Structure 1
Amino acid sequence: MQSPIDSDRRFFGWTRVDDAEVVAPGERLSWPRTVGIGLQHVVAMFGATFLVPVLTGFPPATTLLFSGIGTILFLLITRNRLPSYLGSSFAIIAPVTAAAASDGQSSALGGIVVVGALLVLIGVIVHFAGTRWIDVVMPPIVTGTIVALIGLNLAPSAKDNFEKQPVTATVTLVLLIASIALFRGLLGRLAIVISVVLGYLFAFARGEVDTSGIDSAAWIGLPHFQSPTFAWSVIPTFLPVVLVLVVENIGHVKSVAMMTGTDYDDRIGRALAADGLATVLAGSGGGSATTTYAENIGVMAATKVYSTAAYWVAGIAAIVLGLCPKVGAVIAAIPAGVLGGVTTALYGLVGIIGVHIWVSNRVDFAKPINQFTAAIPLVIGIANFTWAIGGVSFGGIAIGAVAALLIYHVLWLCGRWLGTAGVTAT
């Protein structure tokens, strides 16, 4: 495999390989095969990427457009040697939903812009200072708790959609489980897409799909753009999302490094800044926040093709889809029952990702410091505690995230100073 330094000298000069078992980021297959791999990446990201705008009320075509633009921007900033697709972040759903309900959708876009700007700032700091300070401020018990409470905070939203069309929701959920059980490889990873498509057809047969918007939509045209506004009352709810995006991006870079055998630690800062800039751009035009996608890591793991050329194909394809209002109208017409069925699983999976962070980092729950760092914020997030002060309202995600940080660091400092049970097991 080529080192990133050597390959930087030939920014777009991929070396063609035809029979290699593993294709490095600076290499590519023939263009027909590269296009095929790129389209697999589109299919892999599509299910999760379009669900976020549908669930938050953003135009799906706009989000797809900015997803493609963000991916290309990411490749440019990381100097075309870090393979990644930037799709919609599920961590943004809860604060967007809360902000849109209280201050309108434009204020939610303002929150997304703030998230992106902070991520850019963190990326710049990491580029020059490294990631050690992140590990100190946000150890695995804290990051896992924040990720888990964001996912579980969304449970009432899944319940509301499920109850609107319970038969369709149940069928969709059963189809999702069946797809996971019956299919392997790429089809198994596309279980979300398969269940949504089949659930959509089932709902259509039951007369639950409103096709008026599909019929009137043009095949080619610009998506709907919207400008952000900034309301200080909603911005605190978005701040924990920054932590989640940091964790997701670092995890992605580490995963790619493990698969390719190349050390990409020097690119973590660039990756964070690139995702932040893509998020700022998306929020400024009406799209959803972006993040690096595990779904596309799955495609790389299955194909052993890590070529960034395939991601250029995927990014361009997403832009083309974003310029087709008909596709956006079809996505926007997904009925509540289908969304209720699939999000019952997806929101829970976001919570489980937090648990996975605990498990993979061997968090010791025999220690009171870990027990209470997780226990209290999870209840705050799941019950969606609220606290209004000075005209600014804080929701369960913001309160829970701050609680996780404060509880951990207060117990750690007191435990080290006084030798109490805050740190060691009783």
Structure 2
Amino acid sequence: MPIWTLHGNGRTVEPGKVVGPGERLNWPATIAIGAQHVVAMFGATFLVPILTGFPVPTTLLFSGIGTLLFLLITRNKLPSYLGSSFAFIAPITAATATAGMGSALAGIVAVGVLLAAVGFIVQFAGLGWVDKLMPPVVSGTIVALIGFNLAPVAWNNFAVAPVTGTVTLVAVILFSVLFRGFLGRISIFLGVIVGYIFAAIVGEVDWSAVDAAPWIGFPTFHIADFASPGTWSVIVMFLPVVLVLIAENVGHVRAVATMTDPSVNKQTGRALIADGAATTLAGFFGGSGTTTYGENIGVMAATRVYSTAAYWVAGVVAILLAMSPKVGEVFNSVPAGVLGGVTTALYGLIGIIGIKIWVDNRVDFSRPVNQYTGAVGLVIAIAGFTMVWGDGFQLGAIVLGSAAALVIYHLGNLIARWRKTGADDGGGLPVIGQLGGDPQ
């Protein structure tokens, strides 16, 4: 069992200081903070299985197990909760519709294995190659296109009950705008509660499954299917998610290091390995892929408590919640109108996060190579481009958009460097020649 040093008097955070990963407050305070982390992760974590049709208790179980596994692999030096990743929603939705849940789970496993492999490389070779492969203009495009690709899914749910969808959406926005701190960070969760209450009042909620479900029981498990004919095209569709998970994990580590100790950055490789292992385990048995959670970063920033002890509490609580089928059925009873309202905001926010990567890194959009990297990738995703080869092997919009962003950026800059060296001074590439300048 991990051992933590007691911070100060154990009851409060000393002025001007933070509770580091290897410290803790007294156990009552630590348990209370752990409970806050559960609330912070819950709104986002339960939404993913609801939107993808995965069992909520199973996702919660592997979320909790994944968090404990993360803490073990990072040697109890990196505080993080591993919740359901939104980046998986689009490929899971497409995969389950065309090839079934088993194939979707195989895609999750493939992402987990690849992410862990990247983690091992980072552990020994550093992060420089990742930054070169996926600079801000590319990473921002990939994150944004995953969110915007889901826009039709949000509309399909919204159209079922537009009044309920509108009430939910307005509630999400108001909670986000009116409240600061913790309540503002869980505005999506609060909006779902408001929408659910409204839906119940107008008779849109069916509680029959909730009444029939037992209070205690094991989650439902599903096994990843690698044998179905369509599985390998599904796996290819999932692979761009790895780029998003890398960006999220690296950002999480850097945020914690900034607030606590720069030496935390040394855990970056282990963080990627841990998230990869947790995602692989979840995918094998019916859970959704995981990622480090910004919601929980917010809780740590507000409380100044970065103790990993609080995350052990949160992981255990998530596992206990997963052992109640009735809790799972409550979430399964959320009607389509509520989901439509919340996902209108949620999917748009995923897209905006990608755009924020551009803004924060001051991406120069006067350069045509950057313009086309973002423009082509986003249009492919929003329009839902697909390509089919041979016996049903299909590449979806997320794969095509991500590939387009990577190829346009790197090929464009390669040609630009070639032009600057004086090759083909006869003017053979007058348009591409405008791509010159340092990559950004």
Do residues 423 (structure 1) and 414 (structure 2) align? no
Runs of 4+ in structure 1 off by over 4 angstroms are: none
CA distance in 2, matches of 1:339, 1:423: 45
1:325 is matched with: 325
1:288 is matched with: 288
**Could you say what the CA RMSD is over the residues aligned between the two structures, in angstroms?**
1.2
- TM-score, L = length of structure 1: 0.96
Q: Encode CA deviations 1:268-306: one digit per residue, 9 max, x unaligned.
A: 000000000000010111010000000000000100001
1:169 is matched with: 165
Q: Is the 8 A contact 2:6 2:26 kept in 1?
A: no
1:85 is matched with: 81
Q: Is the 8 A contact 1:368 1:424 kept in 2?
A: no
Do residues 100 (structure 1) and 96 (structure 2) align? yes
2:32 is matched with: 36
1:7 is matched with: none
CA distance in 2, matches of 1:390, 1:412: 33
SS of 1:319's partner is: helix
Q: Is the 8 A contact 1:11 1:79 kept in 2?
A: no
38-47 vs 16-25, which deviates more? 16-25
Counterpart mapping for 1:119-158 below 5 A: 119-158=115-154
Structure 1 gap ranges (5+):
1-9
- 2:47 corresponds to which of 46, 51, 58: 51
- 1:68 corresponds to which of 51, 64, 67: 64
CA distance in 2, matches of 1:178, 1:115: 36
1:4 is matched with: none
CA distance in 1, matches of 2:295, 2:107: 26
Do residues 180 (structure 1) and 140 (structure 2) align? no
CA distance in 2, matches of 1:261, 1:76: 19
Q: Encode CA deviations 1:192-239: one digit per residue, 9 max, x unaligned.
A: 111111111110111111111101111111011000112112111101
Q: CA deviation at 1:308?
A: 0.5
2:197 is matched with: 201
Letter paired with 2:5: W
Q: Encode CA deviations 1:297-348: one digit per residue, 9 max, x unaligned.
A: 0000100001100000000000001111111010111000100000000000
CA distance in 1, matches of 2:114, 2:35: 32
Structure 2 gap ranges (5+):
421-432
Q: CA deviation at 1:263?
A: 2.6
1:238 is matched with: 238
Do residues 408 (structure 1) and 409 (structure 2) align? yes
2:248 is matched with: 248
2:398 is matched with: 397
CA distance in 1, matches of 2:65, 2:119: 19
CA distance in 2, matches of 1:13, 1:184: 31
1:306 is matched with: 306
Q: CA deviation at 1:11?
A: 4.3
Q: Encode CA deviations 1:333-366: one digit per residue, 9 max, x unaligned.
A: 1000100000000000000111111111111001
Q: Is the 8 A contact 1:165 1:337 kept in 2?
A: yes
1:14 is matched with: 5
SS of 2:388's partner is: strand
Letter paired with 1:395: G
SS of 2:68's partner is: helix
Q: Is the 8 A contact 2:119 2:273 kept in 1?
A: yes
Q: CA deviation at 1:15?
A: 2.9
**Percent identity over paired residues:** 62
Q: Is the 8 A contact 1:12 1:80 kept in 2?
A: no
1:335 is matched with: 335
CA distance in 2, matches of 1:374, 1:198: 36
